[in-house]
Amino acid sequence: MEGRKTSAFEKLLLIVGALILIVGYIMINKVYIVQNGQLTWGFLQTTFLWLLMVIFIILIAIGEDIKESILTRQLAELKNIKELLSKKKR
């Protein structure tokens, strides 16, 4: 089975996801240090929103992978139909 190539959207999604992970973690860590380790409601909200963004990026990546696999299967099926129709005409 041949591997598929990654699209430009998937590469961009990887970069954006990595940036969200790294920058978000650094910013949350700085806020935690500034607040002297106290867990405030705003800090918890920010942390959960950051985690939701990470989950959202993961879901987008999964959806893109599913879309690509469906399109690949449909293309193979259309090629088979085309071959069958061309054989039938002969």
Task: State the total domains in the chain.
Answer: 1
Residue 4 lies in a domain: no
Percent of the chain with pLDDT over 70: 97
- pLDDT of residue 1 exceeding 60, the answer is no
| Structural tokens at position 88 | 């039938």
Q: Residue 49 is part of which domain span?
A: 9-89
With respect to residue 69, please indicate whether it lies within any of the assigned structural domains.
yes
Tell me which residue of 9, 1, 2 sits closest to 61, measured CA to CA: 9
In a domain? residue 2: no
- pLDDT digits 0-9 by tens, 43-86: 899 899 999 999 999 999 999 989 988 988 999 999 999 999 99
pLDDT at 2: 65
Judge whether residue 20 has pLDDT over 70.
yes
For residue 28, is it within any domain?
A: yes
60: closest CA among 13, 8, 1?
A: 13
Instruction: Indicate the pTM of the whole model.
Output: 0.75
Distance CA 40, CA 10 (A): 36
Is residue 1 domain-resident? no
